[in-house]
Amino acid sequence: MKRSIDRILTTHAGSLPRPKDLIELYRDDAAEEKLAPRLRSAIAEVVRQQVQSGVDIVNDGEFGKAMRRSVDFGAWWSYVYDRLAGFELRPELAKKGRAAWTFGSKERKEFAEFYAEEASAGQAGAGATAAPQGGTSSARMYGLTCTGPVRYTGHSIVRHDIENLKFSLGDVRVEDAFMTAVSPATLQILANEHYNSQEDYTWALAEAIGEEYKAIVDAGFILQIDDPALVDIWDWWFSLSGDVAGYRKWAAFQVEAVNHALQGIPAERVRFHICWGSWHGPHSGDVPLKDMVDLLLRINALAYSVEAGNVRHEHEWKLWRDVKLPDGKLLIPGVVSHATNLIEHPEVVADRIARFAKVVGRENVIAGTDCGLGGRVHPQIAWAKLAALSAGAKLASKELW
C-alpha cells in the first residue's frame, strides 16, 4: 500500500454515482449479455473520472454491486447475497423491513417526527435522505434467513469484478487501486435459523466472506473491508440495555471474526473502513471513536478509514494526540463528507488534513471521504467533492512539505 511520501495521497470510501442506464439495467434484471458490456464500459468511465478529479487510489465505484435505484443505501452490503449459499427468503421478515438495529435506536425515538417525515418522503419517492421502500430488492435485503451451512459461491462474480477493474486500469496512471467487501459483523443483519449459536454463525460468515477477501488480494488489489456495524449498532444496543461492557465484548468478538477472515492475507494489503451509517440524520447517538479506537486498532489492517469530515465526528482528530497510531499504520480520515450537499472549500479540506498530519505524521495520512458518495449526494455534488478533496490535498502538501 502506498504512503504519502512527498505529498498527501487521495482516495475515497468506495461507492460512486452510477450512470442512470446502468441502474436501469440492474433494476430490470437485464440479461448478462446486455449488462456485462455496459458494466465494463461504465467502470472504465468511472476510473477515468476519478483520475480526472485528482484521486490517486481508485476503485470500480462499486459498480459490480447492483444498485437498482438512484437512492439505494444497501447495495454496498446486500450485493453479497448473490454470492452466498445457505439462505432462504422469509416473507414474514421481509414485511417487517429494515433491521431492528436500524430502526429501534434511541435516536429514532428521540427524533421520531423527523424520521416519520423522512419515511413519508421515501414512500413518495422524494429526497436523497429517504430510505428505500418496498419492492423485491428490499424484500431480499431484509428477508433472507440462514437455513443451512453458509458457503461462498461468488467466485465467478468476483472474478468478473476483478477483470473489469483490471481492464479499466489499462490506460490510466494511478498510485493504486482497491476493491471493497463487506464485514462478517455487517452480514449478521441476516437472521440465523441454522447455527446453534450466534458465535458459530459469525465464524461461518467469516469463513465464507474470507474467500472474497483472498480473491481481491490475490488479484493484486488493496482490500477494503466495510464494517459500519462495528460502531453503528451502538445506539440501538445502548437504548436496550445501557450495557457498555457487553457491547464492547460483542465488538471485540467481531474483531476476532474479521481477523479470522483475514488469515493468510498480509496486513499491508488491507484497509478497514468504519462509519456511523450513511443516512442523513442527527447521529446524536453515535458512539464516540475514543470508546472504540482500541478495538479498531486490533484489526489486522495497515490503514484505518474513519469519518472526520462531518460535524458529528470532525473533532475526533484530537484523540490521536493521546492514542498512538501503531508504527507503520496509516489513517484515511474523511475530509469531505457524504452527509451534506455543501461542497467543502479546499482550504477547509487542507486544514483537516494538516491537523491529522501534525499528530500522526504526514506520511501516515491519506485523505479520504467519510463514506461512499454514490446515492448519498447528487452525482454533480459527489464529483465536485472529490475535486475539492484533491485541491485541498495539494494545498496541504504545500504546507506540509
Q: What is the band of 1 on the pLDDT scale with cuts at 50, 70, 90?
A: very high
Q: Which helix (H) or strand (E) holds 335?
A: strand 330-336
Residue 166 domain-assigned (yes or no) = yes
State yes or no: pLDDT of 77 exceeds 90: no
pLDDT score of 132: 38
Q: What is the CATH number of the domain that holds 189?
A: 3.20.20.210
Residue 78 domain-assigned (yes or no) = no
Across the beta sheet with 84-89, the strand order is 84-89, 144-152, 191-192
Residue 220 domain-assigned (yes or no) = yes
Return the CA Rg of the chain.
Answer: 20
Q: Total domain count for the chain?
A: 1
Residue 128 domain-assigned (yes or no) = no
pLDDT score of 303: 98
Q: Report the pLDDT averaged over residues 222-231.
A: 95
Q: CA 89, 375, 13: angle at the middle one, nearest 5? A: 95
Give every CB contact of residue 7 below 8 A, 6+ residues apart in sequence. 393, 394, 397, 401
- CA pair distance 169, 43, nearest whole angstrom: 10
**Where do we find the cell 461504465?**
42
- CA pair distance 215, 122, nearest whole angstrom: 37
Residue 374 domain-assigned (yes or no) = yes
Closest CA to 276 of 66, 145, 55, 105: 105
Q: Report the pLDDT averaged over residues 61-90.
A: 83
User: What is the reported pTM?
Assistant: 0.93
State yes or no: pLDDT of 264 exceeds 90: yes
Q: Are 215 and 161 in contact (CB under 8 A)?
A: no
Least confident of 75-84, 106-115, 127-136: 127-136
- In percent, how much of the chain has pLDDT > 90? 75
Residue 234 domain-assigned (yes or no) = yes
Q: What is the band of 253 on the pLDDT scale with cuts at 50, 70, 90?
A: very high
State yes or no: pLDDT of 366 exceeds 90: yes
Q: Report the pLDDT averaged over residues 197-213.
A: 98
Residue 328 domain-assigned (yes or no) = yes
Closest CA to 280 of 377, 352, 374, 369: 377
If one compares 78 and 282, the residue with the highest pLDDT of the two is 282
145-177: pLDDT as tens digits: 999 999 999 999 999 999 999 999 998 999 999
- CA pair distance 255, 39, nearest whole angstrom: 34
Q: Are 147 and 88 in contact (CB under 8 A)?
A: yes
State yes or no: pLDDT of 34 exceeds 80: yes
What residues make up the domain containing 211? 9-66+154-400
pLDDT score of 101: 53
Q: How many helices (H) and strands (E) does the chain have?
A: 17, 11
Least confident of 106-110, 119-123, 142-146: 119-123
pLDDT score of 67: 78
Q: CA quadruple 231, 232, 233, 239: dihedral positive or negative? A: positive
Residue 197 domain-assigned (yes or no) = yes
Which range scores top for mean pLDDT: 59-73, 111-125, 240-254? 240-254
- Concatenated DSSP letters of 261-288: HTTTS-GGGEEEE--S-SSSS--TTPPP
Q: Are 109 and 239 in contact (CB under 8 A)?
A: yes
State yes or no: pLDDT of 24 exceeds 70: yes
If one compares 189 and 358, the residue with the highest pLDDT of the two is 358
3-class SS of residue 331? strand
Q: Report the pLDDT averaged over residues 389-395.
A: 98
State yes or no: pLDDT of 122 exceeds 60: no
Amino acid in position 200: D
